[in-house]
Amino acid sequence: MAKYKKAVFIPALFLIRIDSTTTWQNSANAFPLKNMPKLSNVKNLRNVTKKVNVEKYKFSPDERELFWKYRDKQNNGRLKVRFIALLMIADGIPLPKAAELLGCSIASIIRWFKMYLLKGIASLNHFNYQPEQTYLTYAQISRLVGWIRETNPGNIKIIREYIIEHFSIVYTQAAIRKLLNKKGLKFMRPKLIPGKPPTVEKQKLFIKEYNDLRKDAEKTGTVIIFCDAMHPVHQTVPSYCWGDPKKPPTFKTSSGRQRLNIIGGYDPVRCKFVHNTGEADCDAGQAIIFFD
């Protein structure tokens, strides 16, 4: 047998696979695989099957039986159709007719056949999906997430400018939003905390005094309530709602000093709320009415 220096000279048109580890044979004779050039050494694997005619390929009974087994064990419909396509070709169904019946392209069936011929039947049993790598490295993403947690930027534009300035990579706003969501970051409203909270010592002293006062109140039947005076926002604040843009909803604004004033108190023992609500100002007279 002649010695082939390049993969393009392999007589792939006549190759019929008998066993992936033993021998290959053509229409005239058989020869061991060790005399064939290794597929891993071929620069371009497409050259090996470039001239193979799928419809003229002679599938052996063992190959057909193997297709049946892989087809029956495969639960994924997209992968199962690959084995069905090769079985239809093995049964002599023309390639265009098989593609029409399966709802796939002729090129797909040819590609599946070449995958089987070059890599074996196991290559048809999975998608071999490789996830795309992000433009930012793991260290850069960690640095970005740390900066966001520390500075809490107000919008995506600020984050985008930070990425461009420090990493020289341009991201779309949608891509940045997806990346941040994967890292557990969300666009949220900050929580408010008291600007000048009392010290821990003062809080402990108040709790002690309150507990002592509560014990005395239980003996005398006195009720302890926490009181405060307030009024809602003076002006109307519209929010978002569904409506017709041609006839948008309207709301009248408040006029003058008309507003609702509330003097209220909460009893934590009985879990009751008492209040005096009206349009009158929260003055000494209203406080006397509330306590009465």
Inside any domain, residue 34: yes
Taking the C-alpha atoms of residue 281 and residue 36, their distance in angstroms, rounded to an integer, is 101
Inside any domain, residue 87: yes
State the total domains in the chain: 3
CA atoms within 13 A on the CB side of 203: 5
Q: What pLDDT does residue 258 have?
A: 65
Inside any domain, residue 290: yes
CA-derived radius of gyration, the chain: 39
Inside any domain, residue 209: no
pLDDT tens column, 90-121: 998 998 999 999 999 999 998 898 888 888 88
**35/100 same-domain check:** yes
**267/227 same-domain check:** yes
**26/100 same-domain check:** yes
Task: Answer with the one of 90, 125, 160 that is the final residue of a domain.
Answer: 125
**277/171 same-domain check:** no
Other Cβ atoms within 10 Å of 57 Cβ, number: 20
**75/146 same-domain check:** no
Centroid of chain to Cα 174: 12
Taking the C-alpha atoms of residue 84 and residue 65, their distance in angstroms, rounded to an integer, is 12
**169/228 same-domain check:** no
**119/43 same-domain check:** yes
Q: What pLDDT does residue 84 have?
A: 93
Cα 237–Cα 243–Cα 249 angle in degrees, nearest 5? 45
* pLDDT at 130 exceeding the cut of 50: yes
**168/268 same-domain check:** no
pLDDT category of residue 198 using cuts at 50, 70 and 90: confident
Range of the domain at 95: 7-125
**166/84 same-domain check:** no
* pLDDT at 46 exceeding the cut of 90: no
**157/121 same-domain check:** no
Inside any domain, residue 241: no
The H-assigned helical ranges of the chain are 61-73, 77-90, 95-102, 106-119, 138-151, 156-167, 173-182, 200-220, 284-291
